[in-house]
Structure 1
Amino acid sequence: MIKRTIRITEDGSTTIELIGKNENFHSTHGAIQESEHIFIQNGLLQKAKEQSAISIFEMGFGTGLNALLTKLVSEEKKLEIEYFTIEAFPIEKTLFEKLNFSERLELKGEKAEYLKALHKTDWERKTELFSNFQFEKRNIKLEAVELPENTFDLVYFDAFNPDLQPELWTEDVFRKIYLAMKSKGILMTYSAKGKVKRALKAAGFVLNALPGPIGKREITQAIKI
């Protein structure tokens, strides 16, 4: 098992570092700013312009930051969310208790407990964790999970980088996800590598190259037509 530790990023928010792998769960330029830019601004808020009920698949639950931000935006925009996420290697309680997203986002009252609730809720069980927020997380690898066809409006593809986990960035993987998405569904990922774009195109997606967050020139938005 690869050892993991907490690291503070440039916007003051935490990420988790894989010791000895030169890899982090979030950008060291800022965990919160990265997730907000890629998955919320260019993903969730784009779908919210078209519909108020949104079904989301997240590849890589990780720190729970994407789910937390989604919940907060869903309250603000009055969205109804179904959120399905998978994670092959869940982080330990000792790590998630050190994540400072709630503090950095200045969450108060019950909102300050959202991240803890996301981590503590049972695996392998779908539940209405919050009002208008159906949530299910599964401890399983992407290669093993069965995804229902024509289900998801939005995909947060947040796997580790293609050099570390090339098996997660293949045409076959993206085709599996493509089939699970609804027409006009959006897949967002931080990667803009040529081989990733080629695999997405081969799987059937139409791509948009978008400006990246701080520290990253470009990100990828993939649309199922």
Structure 2
Amino acid sequence: MDREIITTKDGSHSLFVKSMGETFHSKHGAVQESVYVYIKNGIDLIKKDTITILEFGFGTGLNALLTLQFTTENNKKVYYETIEAYPLSEKEYGLLNYDDFINSPVSLKELHKIPYGTLLNANANFSILKHHTKIEDFTTKNRFDIIYFDVFGYDYQSELWSAEILQKAYNFLNPNGIFVTYACKGIVNRRLKAIGFEVRKTQGPPGKREMVVAVKKL
């Protein structure tokens, strides 16, 4: 198998892709990184009671699970769409230990078992639609308050950081919508600005100096 489970510095798991030499999450702490990037510098910035989210890269399901926890703790309602080209096997996601770290009303296994292409209410506050497709092929008429851009890094899959993909993300956002990612690479920031985003650099999670929160300004 090309992917293997690893334990990151905060004790939570990630996956290492052998052929790529890259991990799904930071080796400094998978849960720690996702909380900092996508919750504290992501959904927590949206001051609405009902929030629409599009995630580029469902992956391990960690961001979705953390968002579920957030909705419960903050009494928010979330509509969540997520894109994944290469879903984890039941064996893979069954080994991940995120339920030991996250107090979510729905387990990680339950999230993964939700069929692709079927909109379901995971609970009263959280509905999810998973798309089994490549990001390049994804399209939707829906618009979102925030995009979690959690694809592999530019050095490993530069095509997913192309101007065309970033333009799609811009188009999918509501006015004043937020694009948040763990990355802060010069060429990506320039592309985001050229498209029309207001790019805000902020302190990164442990192991990264900076990250980006970009806002769609019209």
If the TM-score is normalised by the length of the shorter chain, which range does it land in?
Answer: over 0.9
For the pair 1:38 / 2:30, whether they are aligned, the reply is: no
What residue is the counterpart of 1:128 in the other structure? 121
What residue is the counterpart of 1:24 in the other structure? 23
* CA distance in structure 2 between the aligned counterparts of 1:148 and 1:220, rounded to whole angstroms: 26
What residue is the counterpart of 2:188 in the other structure? 196
For the pair 1:224 / 2:213, whether they are aligned, the reply is: no
- Code of the residue aligned with 2:136 in structure 1: it is E
Paired residue secondary structure (1:143): helix
- Code of the residue aligned with 1:189 in structure 2: it is T
* CA distance in structure 2 between the aligned counterparts of 1:133 and 1:144, rounded to whole angstroms: 25
Choose from 94, 97, 105 the match for 1:97: 94
Identity %: 40
* CA distance in structure 2 between the aligned counterparts of 1:125 and 1:67, rounded to whole angstroms: 16
Gaps of 5+ in 2: none
Residue correspondence of structure 1 range 1-225 to structure 2 within 5 A = 3-47=2-46, 50-105=47-102, 107=103, 111=105, 113-148=106-141, 151-225=143-217
- Code of the residue aligned with 1:72 in structure 2: it is Q
- Code of the residue aligned with 1:166 in structure 2: it is S
- Give the conservation status (yes or no) of the 8 Å contact 1:178–1:203: yes
Q: CA deviation at 1:115?
A: 1.0
- Give the conservation status (yes or no) of the 8 Å contact 1:172–1:203: no
* CA distance in structure 2 between the aligned counterparts of 1:101 and 1:223, rounded to whole angstroms: 30
- Give the conservation status (yes or no) of the 8 Å contact 1:12–1:104: no
- Code of the residue aligned with 1:197 in structure 2: it is N
* CA distance in structure 2 between the aligned counterparts of 1:93 and 1:63, rounded to whole angstroms: 11
* CA distance in structure 2 between the aligned counterparts of 1:147 and 1:3, rounded to whole angstroms: 31
Paired residue secondary structure (2:175): strand
Q: CA deviation at 1:147?
A: 2.5
CA deviations on 1:165-191 (whole Å, 9 max, x unpaired) are: 111101111111111100110010011
Alignment RMSD (CA, Å): 1.2
- Give the conservation status (yes or no) of the 8 Å contact 1:84–1:135: yes
**Structure 1 range deviating more: 66-75 or 162-171:** 162-171
- Code of the residue aligned with 1:179 in structure 2: it is N
* CA distance in structure 2 between the aligned counterparts of 1:17 and 1:74, rounded to whole angstroms: 29
Gaps of 5+ in 1: none
Paired residue secondary structure (1:117): helix
Q: CA deviation at 1:104?
A: 2.6
- Give the conservation status (yes or no) of the 8 Å contact 1:10–1:28: yes
- Code of the residue aligned with 1:67 in structure 2: it is A
